[in-house]
A and B are shown apart, each in its own frame.
Chain A
Amino acid sequence: MTKAITVSGLHKSFGTTHALDGLDLDVEAGEVHGFLGPNGAGKSTTIRVLLGLLRADSGGAQVLGRDPWADAVEVHRRIAYVPGDVTLWRNLSGGEVIDLYGRLRGGLDARRRAELIERFELDPTKKGRTYSKGNRQKVALVAAFASDVDLLILDEPTSGLDPLMEEVFQRCVEEERDRGRTILLSSHILSEVEELCDRVSIIRKGRTVESGSLADLRHLTRTSVTAELAGPPNGLSHLPGVHDLAIQSTERGQGHRVRLQVDTDKLDAVLRSLSESGVRSLTSTPPTLEELFLRHYQDDVREGATAR
């Protein structure tokens, strides 16, 4: 499979701030790739490097097989970009902006444009400032989805959309994927990512910390286990991969309630140890996507706390 985007060891500093610190990113052609990370992790900086708006200090980036800085115009002919914060010209109507962007890319599919305007319930005759945030995003989204391009780069494109429009957006992304287009989707809306993305990359402090399919990532994270045991648990705390272990005696003083988190690939050893003490009841919860992300997001907070 060819790569739509390849980024390796990307560095970018603004003064003393290291916005990107050796970031890697691989997006296969034809996939929907989730791009996640806490605020300030470097998502938008990465996207601006991919668009040739910023020049990387070091490291390589290729978009559709070309250097986005040197070959910006050729690359952009096949790209549509939707920024998170869409600003429009006060005296241009939404329809004019859509057509302008279409013409400045590879061209616009007039039928798809009409269909999208209807589906997104957008009034194309209104002018710049009179659109709400969500409607400004719709203008950029209609322009992007109706453009004849190979790669869509969407930077938190749904932050102003209502749930119904969010649904329309998701259908559109699926249609684009079905047509063989590649989509890089930066988003904080986890349900959206879970629904749409084939693979995700999580970045933190300018570095990629996880990359892979959601199933892969789940495997890497922790399952929470709650069990009631007939006898005292034995040696649980010494098992590798066990975290946040809490043991309580139950009312009669004989049974014990155990709560723990375990790295999912170490689950087997924990279950064996538990069964030695006589399991009365057991619940095991696979990690939710939220936990997956929170774990990475919170590392920032924890590190910040210990640094202090």
Chain B
Amino acid sequence: MTATATRTDFAVRSGGTRQLAGTTTLLRFALRRDRLMIPVWVGVNALMILSMPNTLENLYGSPADRAELVRDTAANASFRALIGPVFDDSIGALTAWRVGVYAGALAAVVSLLLVVRHTRDEEESGRQELVASGMVGRRASLTAALLTAAVANAVLALLVTVGLAGQGAAGALAFGLGLAGVGMAFATLAAIVAQFTESARLARGLTAGLLGAAFVLRAAGDSASDDGSSALTWVSPLGWLSNLRAFADERWWVLLLFAAAALVQGVVAYELAGRRDVGMSFLPARPGPAFGRLGTAGALAWRLQRGSVLGWSIGFFLAGVVYGGLTDGVADLVGDNENAREVFQRMGGQSGLTDAFLASMVGMMGLIAALYVVGSVLRLHGEETSMRAEPVLANAVGRLRWAAGHLVIAFAGAGLIMLLAGLGFAAGYGKQVGPILGACLVQLPAVWVVGGLAVLLYGVLPRAAMAAWGVAGAVLLIGWVGPALDVPQAVLDLSPFGHLPKLPGGGMEWGTVVVLLGLAVVLTAAGLAGLRRRDMTT
């Protein structure tokens, strides 16, 4: 039944332009729907990149400092694995080196989200049927989705090219195009994955997993070689970005790799899409049990969220292992630079470079856990707006009990993934198991404050519930970019993470932890009180 290859010759021959009918309309519609998402994410990415030259000027002002950094990095496998090889000691080259992998990964994430949102999401929700029944060609939706991602990546490339032009126009252009290339490589990859799953959530998860694999391949390749020449680096689009060597005698032909990948993957995606029915996939849903064992709202919530909890758990554990394993080597390198040490210490630990590095990495995991907690809390919002909450609440299930099912998973799940990250660090680093676990768990009060804010928004202002993502994004931005830029302390203080004790290494501050815990409880309780009193969305 599913995805039968019954494409007739007639359909193939019926003209290329007809297959694209309506693409412009769909593209404009998609851009209108994403009028907030694209500017925010592209803006955050550009801000992260364009603030880097200034940071580097502060840290490594003199050419001698920079030359030393390059020499040390070339010799340090851990650092190369984390960030990539460095090819020149100009500010431009160091900028591309320092942010390249992460900015590329963010561009990839935005691209894959956009493509899945406008393809598989639309099919899964049934909206695609309505759209496809209009004067819309068979290939229009996929084309519009890819073009939407192309617009986002083109804007990023433009901002980067203009913003970094001061460091060298050719390098800025190469770096901008390279970032856009990574974005389009993953946009077209997402377009393929979206043909295989019936669920948009799964398509996003799988593509993100492939992005993680690309990161690991590049890290492995770069730790093995100091000039990006490892075969492992060359199979990863993130590796291509550094091998483009922006600001360091650009290798323009590497851009052809991006173009070829996007082209080949795009063709495959179109071929696959043309061979299946709308709404169907190549991995069809398997039949489920005729009888169910679910009997409580809590069990239902767990059933709905367990896949995501599992995914986050694996990701956090592996990230812990990787960063734990790099700890010793990185600390060696940073130790050479007084300013870098200072930044690490501002981000994280207070004494000892290993501790400082561990603390800043643990802090980063805490910031990412805030994304998990927001996503998990907002499942309530998703259940409500999709009208699935209504019949559940029409049963003998109180609202608070229904909400509690999801909130337990959100809050306890955050504890679980931080614990697993800690175990991963401990496994990778092999020492200091207790202090590292403690450092991971001490992030939780701040994670829960962000979760509490999400509950408050959902309970009291359900229409603004999605603003919880904005809160998480702001906290992330403050935590990542704040310490490196000289952001005023008042701004840093806005984030609950800024108040946490710097562990391992620093002293434990029970008072702060208790205050944050209390704040999380109050926010959550206020949100639940609001939920109890308000109308359910209709």
CA distance A99 to B296 in the complex (A): 10
Enumerate chain B residues within 8 angstroms of A100, measured Cβ to Cβ: 292, 294-295, 300
Instruction: Identify the stretch in A125-133, A179-187, A268-276 within 8 Å (CB) of chain B at 4 or more residues.
Output: A125-133
A95's partner among B279, B291, B396, B533 (CB-CB below 8 A) is B291
User: Do A127 and B536 touch across chains, with their CB atoms under 8 A apart?
Assistant: no
Known: A44-B538, A129-B198. A76 touches B395 (CB 8 A): yes
Within 8 A of B (CB), among A201-257: none
Instruction: Report B425 CB to chain A, min CB distance, Å.
Output: 33
Chain A, residues 177-205, CB within 8 Å of chain B (1/0): the string is 00000000000000000000000000000
Find out whether the CB atom of B294 lies under 8 angstroms from the CB atom of A96. Answer: yes
B396 touches A106 (CB 8 A): yes
The B interface, classified by DSSP as helix, strand, loop or mixed, is loop
Q: Evaluate contact between B394 and A124: CB separation under 8 angstroms.
A: no
Which of A1-9, A22-30, A81-89, A288-296 participates in binding chain B? Answer: A81-89
Closest A residue to B304 by beta carbon equals: A89
Docked-complex contact B303 and A103, CB < 8 angstroms: no
Q: Given A48-B536, A76-B396, A105-B395: A89 and B295 within 8 A (CB)?
A: no
Of A44, A87, A93, which contacts B288 at CB under 8 A? A93
Instruction: Tell me if A282 counts as interface (CB < 8 A to partner B).
Output: no
Interface SS of A by simple majority = mixed
Considering only residues 272-323 of chain B, those with a C-beta below 8 Å from chain A are 279, 285-297, 300, 303-304
**Partner pick for B292 among A54, A83, A86, A97, CB 8 A cutoff:** A97
Q: Which residue of A lies closest to B287 (CB)?
A: A125
Collect the chain A residues with CB atoms within 8 Å of residue B296's CB: 103-104
Chain B nearest CB, measured from A207 CB (Å): 19
Cβ of A55 within 8 Å of any chain B Cβ, yes or no, is yes
Most chain B CB within a 10 A radius of its CB, from A53, A83, A89: A53
Contacts of B538 in A (CB 8 A): 44-45, 48, 53-54
In the bound complex, CA of A140 to CA of B300 (Å)? 16
**A104-B396 contact, Cβ under 8 Å, with A53-B535, A127-B288:** yes
Cα A95 to Cα B290 with chains together (Å): 5
Contact B289–A93 (Cβ < 8 Å): yes
Q: Mark A96-113, 1 if CB is under 8 A from B, else 0.
A: 111111011110000000
Chain A residues with CB under 8 A of B536:
48, 53-54
Contact of A51 among B124, B287, B394 (CB under 8 A): B394
Residue B393 interfacial (CB < 8 Å): yes
Enumerate chain A residues within 8 angstroms of B387, measured Cβ to Cβ. Answer: 83, 85, 87
When chains A and B are docked, how far (Å) is the Cα of A101 from the Cα of B396?
9
A48 and B534 alpha carbons, distance in the complex (Å): 13
B92 to chain A, nearest CB (A): 47
B394:A79 contact, CB within 8 angstroms: yes
The 29 listed contacts between A and B (C-beta, < 8 Å) are: A48-B390, A48-B538, A53-B393, A53-B536, A55-B535, A72-B393, A72-B398, A73-B396, A76-B396, A81-B394, A86-B391, A90-B124, A91-B303, A92-B292, A93-B292, A95-B288, A95-B289, A96-B294, A97-B292, A100-B292, A100-B294, A101-B392, A101-B395, A106-B396, A124-B290, A125-B287, A125-B289, A129-B198, A129-B279
Q: Top 10 A-B pairs ranked by shortest CB distance?
A: A93-B288, A96-B292, A104-B395, A81-B394, A99-B292, A103-B295, A125-B287, A77-B396, A95-B290, A53-B536
